[in-house]
Amino acid sequence: MSRYVFIDPKASYRLPKSFNFQEYIHTEREFWALFPETEGKRVNFCQAGLTARVYVEAPEDGSELKPEESYFLMPFGDGTMRPLRMKAERQLTLSEYRMSHLTAMRLAENLQATERIINRIHLEILGPEIIEESRR
């Protein structure tokens, strides 16, 4: 496993039965209209500092991550949430970021059902020593 990956890329977390994948993926596909260069692949975007990049699904070959790659925790149609290897396609303009953020807000509503999973993963990543130190 890469030293730059915080959880095992093969990790899998069961989504709650209340999670509506069809509704989620329908909303995610709005990114296809905003970013036609994604060519129907899974899409996400990420803000880093005062810039943002659009990411598209990349082949998982088990190799070390390239500098323009990352894993994003994404829901899947099989009822799981798993890391998905993605590649930065390009930077976003401010207007593209704002439009993307509107779609992301709707995705966040869909993801509310995954809050317990996300919290558990967050605690796993931080580790017990950091959690203990933050309680002091």
Q: Give the model's pLDDT for residue 58.
A: 96
Residues of the domain holding 83: 13-128
| Residue 49, domain member (yes or no) | yes
User: What does the pLDDT average to over 115-130?
Assistant: 87
Q: Where is 135: in which H helix or E strand? A: none
| Residue 5, domain member (yes or no) | no
Number of domains forming the structure of the chain: 1
**Main-chain phi, psi angles of 35, to 5 degrees:** -130, 75
From first CA to last CA, the distance across the chain in angstroms is 32
β-sheet bridge partners, residue 25: none
Q: Give the model's pLDDT for residue 130.
A: 77
Helices (H), 2-93: 21-28, 30-34
The tens digit of pLDDT for each residue in 28-87 reads 999 999 999 998 899 999 999 999 999 999 999 889 999 999 999 999 999 999 999 999
The first and second tokens of residue 31, run together, are 């990114």
In the numeric block, the tokens 């966040």 are attached to 108
pTM attached to this predicted model: 0.88
| Residue 57, domain member (yes or no) | yes
- Say what percent of the chain tops pLDDT 90: 67
Please, what is the average pLDDT of the chain? 91
What is the Cα–Cα distance from 79 to 99, expressed in whole angstroms? 28
